[in-house]
Structure 1
Amino acid sequence: MATIKEILQQSRTAMEKGVENSKKEFGSIRAAKASPQMLDTVRVEAYGSHLPLNQVASVSAPEPRLLLVTPFDKGQAKVIEKAIRESDLGVEPSNMGGVIRVPLPSLNEQRRKELVKVVHKLAEEGRVAIRHARTDSRDKLKKLDGVSEDDKKHAEKDLQKLHDDHIGKIEALLKAKEAEIMEV
Structure 2
Amino acid sequence: MANEVVELARESMEERVEALKRELTSIRTGRASRSLLERIKVNAYGSNLPVDQVGTITVPESRMIVIQPWDPQMLAVLEKAIMTSDLGLTPANDGKVIRLNIPQLTEDRRKELVKQVKKISEEYKVGVRNDRRDANDTFKAQKNDKEISEDDMFRYQEEVQKVTDEFITRIDDIAAGKEKEVMEV
Which residue is equivalent to 2:127?
129
Alpha-carbon distance in 2 for matches of 1:27, 1:123: 13
Q: CA deviation at 1:58?
A: 5.3
After superposition, where does 1:87-106 map in structure 2 within 5 Å?
A: 103-106=101-104
- Deviation of 1:18 after TM superposition, in Å, equals 1.7
Q: Tell me the residue number matched to 1:26.
A: 24
Aligned residues: 162
Q: Give how far 1:183 is off.
A: 0.5
Structure number with larger C-alpha Rg: 1
Look up the match of 1:50: none
Question: 1:34, 1:61 within 8 Å by CA — same for their partners in 2?
Answer: yes
- Give the deviation of 1:128 after TM superposition: 0.7
Does the Cα contact within 8 Å between 1:15 and 1:166 map onto a contact in 2? yes
Determine the structure 2 residue equivalent to 1:162: 163
Map 1:1-184 onto structure 2 (within 5 A): 3-35=1-33, 37=37, 59-68=57-66, 103-143=101-141, 144=143, 145-184=146-185
SS at match of 1:32: coil
Deviation track 1:50-89 (CA, whole Å, cap 9, x = no partner) reads xxx99xx8552123213356799xxxxxxx9xx8xxx796
Structure 2 CA distance, aligned partners of 1:30 and 1:22? 15
Question: Which ranges of structure 2 fall in alignment gaps of 5 or more residues?
Answer: 42-50, 71-75
Residue 105 of structure 2 aligns to a residue whose secondary structure is: coil
1:81-114 Cα deviation digits (max 9, x unpaired):
xx8xxx7966697x9xx99976532100111111
Query: Secondary structure at 2:65's aligned position in 1?
Result: strand
How much does 1:148 deviate?
Answer: 2.2
Quote the RMSD (CA, aligned, Å): 3.7
Q: Residues 91 and 105 of structure 1 are in contact (CA less than 8 Å); yes or no, is this contact kept in structure 2?
A: no
Amino acid at match of 1:161: K
Aligned-pair identity (%): 36
Please give the alpha-carbon distance, in whole angstroms, between the structure 2 residues aligned to 1:12 and 1:90. 38
TM-score (norm 2): 0.69
Q: Specify the code of the residue in structure 2 equivalent to 1:154.
A: R
CA contact (8 A) 1:91 1:104 kept: no
For the structure 1 residues 134 and 66, does the alpha-carbon distance in structure 2 shift closer, same or farther, using more than 3 Å as the test?
same
One-letter amino acid matched to 1:171: D
For 2:10 and 2:184, locate their aligned partners in 1 and report how far apart those are by CA, in whole Å: 33
Change over 3 Å in CA distance of 1:160–1:58 after alignment to 2: closer
- Look up the equivalent residue of 2:147 and give its one-letter code: G
For residue 33 of structure 1, give the secondary structure of its aligned residue in structure 2: coil
Cα pair distance change 1:59/1:153, threshold 3 Å: closer
